[in-house]
Chains A and B, each alone.
Chain A
Amino acid sequence: MQALKKLKSAKLTRRLAVLSVAAASLALAGCDDNGGDPRTQIGANPELPKLQQYLMPPIRIAKAVGWGKDETPTVPQGLQVHALATGFVHPRSLYVLPNGDVLVVESNGPKAPIYRPKDIITGWVQWFAGAKAKDENRITLLRDTNGDGVPELRTVFLDHLSSPFGVAVVGHDLYVANTDAIVRYPYEDGQTSITAPGTKLTDLPGGPIDHHWTKTLLASPDGSKLYVGVGSNSNIGENGIGAEYERAAIWEVDRATGAHRIYASGVRNPTGLQWEPETGKLWAIANERDEIGPDLVPDYLTSVRDGGFYGWPYSYYGQHLDPRIVPQRPDLVASAIAPDYALSSHVAPLGLAMYTGTALPANYRGGAFVGEHGSWDRTPLNGYKVVFVPFSGGKPSGPAQDVVTGFLDANNHARGRPVGLAVDRAGALLIADDVGNTVWRVSSAPSSASPRPAT
C-alpha cells in the first residue's frame, strides 16, 4: 500500500516536473529574438513581421553615461558639430524666435501614477535610462548675435511651467504648450525674459495618467490656428478607452477663441508638427506601439490629412489589427490610413525639422531632419541619431541617411539622446540632447581645401 502510494506520487511529480520545464522553456523562447535589419523598414512599404506576444517583453536600454570632455557627436564630411551650449536640465525641445534667439525647453514629464505592479518596474527602467532627471520646467533663451555659434547671452526666459514642450509665436503672442494647457504670453521682439502672467487659451488632456505628456505646437501660416500633437494615454489602451478621450490626435485650436476640433486621430504619439514647404501640407512624426516584437510597429513620418484616422489603437499601417484591443472598431479600421514613410521600429522620433535653408551642403536642401531618441525595448538598439529624409515634390524621395551619430559609445552606453530639432537663423541644425544635457549645432564645415574630418 505504502509502496503503491509512493509510486503514484513519484509519477505525479515527474509529470508535474515535465510540465514546469515545458512552461519554463516557453518563457525562454520569447527572450532571445533580435530585431532584423532596420533598413527593411524604412520608406513607404516597410516589411511588417508577424505579431508576437511576450511573457517578459524585451527591455534593452542604453545606460546613460553622458559626454566625456571634448566628446561630440559624429557628422559626415562637409558638416561640423559643436555644442551651442551645455549644462541644461533635460532639454527636450527647441524653438527659434523671429529675431534669431533660441529657446531651449527644459522639461520632464509629470510623475506617473502606479496602477499596476508593472508601473513600478517601468519607473526603474526609466531611471536607468536617464529619463528621471529633475524637471526644471523652464525655458532658457540663448542669443548668438554674430552667428558664430557661441551665444553671448543666456537667460531664463520663462520659469515655473508645467511640463512644457511646444512653443509658437504669432505676432506679439507667445504660446507655450504645457502638458495640460496652452498658455499665451505677451512677447516683444528682443525680450529676454517674460515675467508677465500667462493667459490660458485652452486646456489640453493632462493628468492624472498623462502617459505621453509632450504637446507639440505649430501655428498655421496665417496665424489663425494652432495645431497641437496630443499623445495617447497608454501604450495600447491598457488604461481603458475612456482615458483616451481626444488623445492620440492632432488638435486644431482656434487662436481667437480657444475652441478646438480633432484635425486627425489614431496617431499614437504625434510630435514634430511641421509644414512641408513645397505643398504647404501638415506633416508629423509618430511613435508607434510597443510589446509586439522588435520590428513592430515601425515609427513613422507622415503627412496629416484633415479628418484622417491613422489606426491607433485598433490597427497599424492601415488594416493590421491589434488583438490587444477589444471591442474592435471595424468601421474605423476600414478607414485607417497607412502612414507615408516608415522610420523603422522603436527609433522614437521626437524632433522634426523641414530644411528650407541653404547654409548646409546641397544634399541637405529639401528634406526633413528627424531626431530619433532611440529604442528601449529592442535588440540591437535602434535610433539614437539624427537622420535626413530627402524630399522631392513634397514627398519623401529616398532612404533616410544618417547625419548625426555617435550618441552611443562603443559599449552601447548613451552619451546623449537627440530629441527636439530646430534650424537657426543662420541655417544650422540645432539638436536638443536630453541625456547629454546639451544643445548641439550642426553647420557646414569651412570650405577650405581640406574639410575638417568628422570627429
Chain B
Amino acid sequence: MKHATITEATFISDASSRSTTKPRGRPIHRMLASFSAAYFVGALVTDLVYWQMPDVMWERFSIWLIVAGLLVSGLTVIAYVIDLASGRQIDRPAWPRVVGYAVAVVLSLFNAFVHSRDGYTAVVPTGLTLSVLVVAVLIVTAGIGSALSNRHRVGG
C-alpha cells in the first residue's frame, strides 16, 4: 500500500518537473524511438512463439516487425538530427541512451538479415538470440537513461 503511494508520488513529481523544464513537450524522436522499441519487443515475442511452435507465420511476423522497427529507427534518426540542428535543448544525460539505442538498431539490422534466411535457422538459434539481445540492450538503456536523468534532476 505504502509502496503504491510512493510510486504515485514519484510519477506526479516527474510529470510536473517535465512540464516545467520542457515547455514544448516530449521531443518527437523520443516518441519514435519508443515505437521502434515496441516493434523490436514484438519481434522477440513472435520469435519465442516460433521457437516453441515453428509455423512460418510467426517467422514472417518477426521479420516484418524487425523491418518496421528499423524503418521507424530511420525516422527517429532524422527527427533527432532535426532536433539537434534546430538547437533544441536536449538533456545532457540523453547521450548514453543514444549509444544504447544505436547498438540496438545495429543488432536489429543484423537480425533482419538473419531473419531473411530460409527455414528454421532464420530464427533458431541466431535470430532468437539477437532478438533477446536487442530487447536486453533496450531495457538496460532505458534503465541507465532514467537513472541518469533522475540523478541529474536531483543533483542539478
Interface-central residue, B100, B119, B120, by most chain A CB under 10 Å: B119
Of the residues A5, A9, A27, A327, contact of B110 by C-beta under 8 Å: A27
Among the 9-residue stretches A50-58, A251-259, A361-369, the one with 4 or more Cβ atoms under 8 Å from chain B is A50-58
Query: Nearest Cβ in chain B — how far from A330, in angstroms?
Result: 16
Chain A residues 207 to 263 lying within 8 A of chain B, measured CB to CB, are 234-240
A3 and B116 alpha carbons, distance in the complex (Å): 44
CB of B116 within 8 A of CB of A118, answer yes
Of the residues A20, A27, A291, contact of B117 by C-beta under 8 Å: A291
A313 and B120 alpha carbons, distance in the complex (Å): 12
Query: Nearest Cβ in chain A — how far from B58, in angstroms?
Result: 11
Q: Which 8 pairs between the two chains have the least Cβ-Cβ distance?
A: A324-B119, A238-B118, A326-B120, A240-B56, A55-B113, A118-B116, A235-B118, A236-B118
Query: Nearest Cβ in chain B — how far from A194, in angstroms?
Result: 40
A39 and B103 alpha carbons, distance in the complex (Å): 44
CB of A323 within 8 A of CB of B56, answer no
Say yes or no for B42: interface residue by CB 8 A criterion: no
How many A residues face the partner with a CB closer than 8 A? 35
CB of A9 within 8 A of CB of B113, answer no
How many B residues face the partner with a CB closer than 8 A? 31
Of the residues B55, B63, B110, contact of A117 by C-beta under 8 Å: B63
Closest to A324 in B: B119
Total A-B pairs, Cβ < 8 A: 75
CB of B119 within 8 A of CB of A325, answer yes
A residues sitting closer than 8 Å to B (CB atoms) are 1, 5, 9, 12-13, 16, 19-20, 23, 27, 53-57, 115-118, 234-240, 290-291, 313, 322-327
CB of B64 within 8 A of CB of A324, answer no
Query: Nearest Cβ in chain B — how far from A341, in angstroms?
Result: 26
Of the residues A9, A20, A291, A322, contact of B106 by C-beta under 8 Å: A20
Of the residues B103, B106, B117, contact of A54 by C-beta under 8 Å: B117
A56 neighbours in B (Cβ, 8 Å): 113
A237 neighbours in B (Cβ, 8 Å): 118-119
Say yes or no for B32: interface residue by CB 8 A criterion: no
Interface-central residue, B55, B56, B96, by most chain A CB under 10 Å: B56
CB of B116 within 8 A of CB of A117, answer yes
Given contacts A16-B99, A55-B110, contact A291 B118 (CB under 8 A): yes
A-B contact pairs, 7 of them (CB 8 A): A23-B110, A53-B121, A55-B110, A116-B64, A117-B63, A234-B118, A290-B118
Given contacts A23-B107, A240-B56, contact A12 B96 (CB under 8 A): yes
Interface-central residue, A20, A117, A236, by most chain B CB under 10 Å: A117
Query: Nearest Cβ in chain B — how far from A260, in angstroms?
Result: 27
A395 and B111 alpha carbons, distance in the complex (Å): 47
A118 neighbours in B (Cβ, 8 Å): 63, 116
CB of B113 within 8 A of CB of A324, answer no
Query: Nearest Cβ in chain A — how far from B99, in angstroms?
Result: 6
A238 and B117 alpha carbons, distance in the complex (Å): 9
B59 neighbours in A (Cβ, 8 Å): 238
A236 and B122 alpha carbons, distance in the complex (Å): 11
CB of A16 within 8 A of CB of B103, answer yes
Interface-central residue, B64, B112, B113, by most chain A CB under 10 Å: B113
CB of B54 within 8 A of CB of A238, answer no
CB of B120 within 8 A of CB of A12, answer no
B148 neighbours in A (Cβ, 8 Å): 5
Closest to B113 in A: A55
Say yes or no for B44: interface residue by CB 8 A criterion: no
Closest to B56 in A: A240
Of the residues A1, A23, A235, A239, contact of B56 by C-beta under 8 Å: A239
Closest to B155 in A: A1
A298 and B121 alpha carbons, distance in the complex (Å): 21
A54 and B113 alpha carbons, distance in the complex (Å): 8
Closest to A239 in B: B56
- Identify 19 new A-B residue pairs, CB closer than 8 A, beyond the known A27-B113, A238-B56: A5-B148, A9-B96, A9-B99, A16-B100, A19-B103, A20-B103, A55-B110, A55-B114, A116-B116, A117-B63, A117-B67, A117-B112, A234-B118, A235-B118, A239-B56, A240-B56, A240-B57, A322-B119, A326-B119
Given contacts A1-B155, A326-B54, contact A116 B117 (CB under 8 A): no
CB of A12 within 8 A of CB of B99, answer yes
B55 neighbours in A (Cβ, 8 Å): 240
B155 neighbours in A (Cβ, 8 Å): 1
B99 neighbours in A (Cβ, 8 Å): 9, 12-13, 16
A53 neighbours in B (Cβ, 8 Å): 117, 121, 126
B110 neighbours in A (Cβ, 8 Å): 23, 27, 55
B57 neighbours in A (Cβ, 8 Å): 240
Query: Nearest Cβ in chain B — how far from A408, in angstroms?
Result: 27
Closest to B151 in A: A5
A12 and B145 alpha carbons, distance in the complex (Å): 13
A254 and B114 alpha carbons, distance in the complex (Å): 44
Closest to B120 in A: A326
A238 neighbours in B (Cβ, 8 Å): 56, 59, 118-119, 122
A58 and B106 alpha carbons, distance in the complex (Å): 21
Given contacts A12-B96, A23-B107, A115-B60, contact A327 B54 (CB under 8 A): yes
